[in-house]
Structure 1
Amino acid sequence: MKALTVHQPWAQLLALGVKQFETRSWYTHFRGPLAIHASKQQASFVSAIVLQRLGKVLFPYGFRALQDLPFGCVVGVGMLEDVQPAELISAQAIAGEKDFGDFRPGRFAWKFSQVRVLEKPIPACGHQGIWNLPEELIL
Structure 2
Amino acid sequence: MIKAITLRQPWASLVAAGATNIVTRTWQTEYRGRLAIHAAGDISADVRLRVLNQRVRGNNHSYEGGDSAVLNTLYSAGFEDTSQIPLGAIVATCELVDVAPIGGASDFRTGIFEGDEGDYPGQAVVVIHDDGTVMLDTAERRVINITDQKAYNEFVPGHFAWILSDIRSVEERCPMCWSENGCSHSGMLPTRGHRGLWKVRLNGQKE
CA RMSD, Structure 1 to Structure 2 (Å):
2.1
> Residues 50-69 of structure 1 correspond to what in structure 2 (within 5 A)?
50-69=66-85
- Aligned partner of 2:43: which letter? Q
In structure 1, distance between residues paired with 2:13 and 2:5? 13
Structure having the higher strand fraction is 1
Higher Cα radius of gyration? 2
Structure having the higher helix fraction is 1
Query: 5+ residue gaps in structure 2?
Result: 51-64, 104-124, 127-133, 137-144, 172-186
Matched, 1:91 2:135: yes
Query: 1:86, CA displacement in angstroms?
Result: 2.3
Aligned equivalent of 1:104: 156
In structure 2, distance between residues paired with 1:124 and 1:77? 15
Bigger shift: 63-72 or 25-34? 63-72
Matched, 1:36 2:37: yes
So what's the TM-score if we normalise by structure 1? 0.88
| Count of residue pairs the alignment pairs up | 138
| Structure 1 SS opposite 2:195 | coil
Aligned counterpart in structure 2 of residue 128 of structure 1, from 179, 195, 198 = 195
In structure 2, distance between residues paired with 1:64 and 1:52? 14
Q: Does the CA contact (< 8 Å) of 2:42 and 2:87 recur in 1?
A: yes
Q: Does the CA contact (< 8 Å) of 1:55 and 1:64 recur in 2?
A: no
Q: How has the CA–CA distance of structure 1 residues 71 and 105 changed in structure 2, closer, same or farther, with 3 Å as cutoff?
A: same
- Aligned partner of 1:53: which letter? A
Which deviations, in whole Å up to 9, do the C-alpha atoms of 1:45-66 show, x marking residues without a partner? 4495443222211212211122
Matched, 1:76 2:82: no
Bigger shift: 106-115 or 63-72? 63-72
- Aligned partner of 1:111: which letter? I
Query: 5+ residue gaps in structure 1?
Result: none
Higher relative contact order (CA 8 A, sep 6+): 1
- Aligned partner of 1:19: which letter? T
Q: How has the CA–CA distance of structure 1 residues 64 and 50 changed in structure 2, closer, same or farther, with 3 Å as cutoff?
A: farther
So what's the TM-score if we normalise by structure 2? 0.61
